[in-house]
Structure 1
Amino acid sequence: MPDNPLIAIVDDDEAVRTATASLLRSFGYRTHVFASATEFLASGMDRQAACLITDVRMPGMDGMELQQVLIAQNCTIPILFMSAYSSDTVRQRVLAAGAVCLLEKPFDSEVIVRHLRDALKPPAAPSD
């Protein structure tokens, strides 16, 4: 994995997209932003990005539907969810489907970077 992995950010709120991308770039990550889940899927970035950060609630295809599409396509990109309207049900659903975390907006910059670093760690080698 490159020293500055590419992070895809999907959020319908332009201010959140811009702020999140700026924050991650300040930590050395490359970013590519998308206004919708369908825009992200159409870009082919699901096979290029090292990690996906997506909002849960968006018009059209929401983040949970995006996660299901990626699973159906056997895409194993790590996903960090963010939401201003999280619930235990949503948290359990996305985590059960393999998400790294669900961050509640607004979130602390150190929290998202810590989760992102964990998501980008190579898988541990199986022990004998």
Structure 2
Amino acid sequence: MSDTAIISIIDDDESVRVALDGLLRSHGYRVRTYASAIDFLSSGGFENTACLLSDIQMPEMTGTQLSDELCLRGIEIPLIFITGLPAVPPRARPGGTGPVAVFPKPFNCAELIACIDSVLGRLA
């Protein structure tokens, strides 16, 4: 995966989207942000997304519902959950796959970048 891989961020909290956008851009990634899972799905942004960061608890469609919907559509994107919920274990998707990782907020930025780099096959 190239250093310009597109990372899509879905979070209903604008401050989280802005902070993650800046963090990922500072590490050479191109970033797209979405305020909801519905916005992401309706935009077609999944077509060029190399990795997806999604909040779990959001209005309209949760991160786990998004994960299920992507699976139903046959869309395979590495998914990393970020959440303000305490001790949320990874949830398997239908078919046995699930999120790559779950990061509780606040999370260690270096660990998140290392996880993304690993998912995309970059050297950390």
* Alpha-carbon separation, structure 1, partners of 2:75 and 2:119: 15
SS state at 1:39 partner: helix
Q: TM-score, normalised by structure 1?
A: 0.87
Q: CA deviation at 1:94?
A: 4.7
Identity percentage of aligned residues: 38
* Alpha-carbon separation, structure 1, partners of 2:2 and 2:121: 12
Question: Who is 1:76 aligned against?
Answer: 76
Question: Who is 2:121 aligned against?
Answer: 121
Quick one: structure 1 residues 105 and 57, their matched pair in 2 at CA, closer, same or farther if it must change by over 3 Å? same
Question: Who is 1:65 aligned against?
Answer: 65
Q: CA RMSD in A?
A: 1.6
* Alpha-carbon separation, structure 1, partners of 2:48 and 2:90: 27
* Alpha-carbon separation, structure 2, partners of 1:107 and 1:2: 25
SS state at 1:76 partner: coil
* Structure 1 spans left out of the alignment, 5+ residues: 123-128
1:10 aligns with 2:10: yes
Task: Point out the structure with max Rg over C-alpha.
Answer: 1
1:52 aligns with 2:45: no
CA contact (8 A) 2:90 2:98 kept: no
Q: CA deviation at 1:75?
A: 0.7
Question: Who is 1:93 aligned against?
Answer: 91
Question: Who is 2:26 aligned against?
Answer: 26
Q: Which runs of 4+ in 1 moved over 4 A?
A: none
* Alpha-carbon separation, structure 2, partners of 1:114 and 1:3: 14
* Alpha-carbon separation, structure 2, partners of 1:94 and 1:110: 25
Query: Residue type matched to 1:93 in 2?
Result: R
Q: CA deviation at 1:48?
A: 0.8
